């Protein structure tokens, strides 16, 4: 009986950690049009989504109108650190077919047109 209680407590204590997606966390984007952002990635259903949580320019942190907007949308895990979904580019307000290739503290994000033949890419770094 003690073993069963211990096992149940272990499962409850670590269930949230076991379900965390490797892409979850806070990521720093590359500079685009003179600014960069921190993007908070969280699970959204069976996918991962990213919301702009802080914005920076040459003067430091500032209150961008894009704060709180979702930049990574419905990225579904394919396995091996790869994801597919949509990505929004704030500078032109367009949504693209998106791909992520995740490796350690590096997230390679691509926004593509023409079925993925032409892509604009950024490498993001993990903050937390």
User: Tell me: the pLDDT tens digits for 89-102?
Assistant: 988 899 999 999 99
Question: In the beta sheet, which residues pair with residue 121?
Answer: 110
- Please give the average per-residue pLDDT across 69-93, as a whole number: 95
Domain ranges of the chain: 25-126
pLDDT of residue 13: 41
pLDDT of residue 4: 41
For residues 83 and 62, give the distance between their C-alpha atoms in angstroms, rounded to a whole number.
Answer: 30
pLDDT of residue 19: 61
Report yes or no: 76 and 69 within 8 Å, Cβ to Cβ. no
pLDDT of residue 20: 80
For residues 91 and 66, give the distance between their C-alpha atoms in angstroms, rounded to a whole number.
Answer: 10
For residues 76 and 82, give the distance between their C-alpha atoms in angstroms, rounded to a whole number.
Answer: 8
pLDDT tens by residue, 10-60: 333 444 444 688 999 999 999 988 999 999 999 999 999 999 999 999 999
* Residue 5 predicted with pLDDT over 80: no
DSSP 3: H
pLDDT of residue 15: 42
Which run of H or E residues covers position 99? Answer: strand 94-103
pLDDT of residue 69: 97
Report yes or no: 91 and 111 within 8 Å, Cβ to Cβ. no
| CATH class of the domain defined by 25-126 | mainly beta
* Residue 63 predicted with pLDDT over 60: yes
Q: Which of 118, 107, 54 is nearest to 77 (CA)?
A: 107
Q: Give the 3-state secondary structure of 7-45.
A: HHHHHHHHHHHHHCCCCCEEEECCCECCEEEEEEEEEEC
- 125 pLDDT tier (thresholds 50, 70, 90): very high
């Amino acid at each position: 009986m003690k073993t069963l209680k211990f096992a149940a407590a272990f499962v409850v204590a670590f269930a949230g950690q076991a379900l965390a997606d490797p892409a979850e966390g806070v990521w720093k984007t590359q500079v685009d049009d003179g600014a960069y952002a921190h993007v908070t990635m969280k699970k959204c259903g069976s996918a991962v989504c990213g919301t702009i949580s802080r914005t920076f320019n040459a003067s430091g942190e500032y209150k961008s109108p894009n704060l709180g907007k979702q930049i990574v949308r419905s990225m579904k895990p394919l396995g091996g650190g790869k994801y597919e979904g949509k990505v929004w580019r704030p500078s032109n307000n367009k949504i693209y077919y998106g791909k992520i290739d995740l490796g350690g503290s590096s997230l390679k994000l691509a926004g593509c047109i023409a079925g993925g033949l032409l892509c604009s890419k950024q490498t993001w770094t993990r903050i937390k």
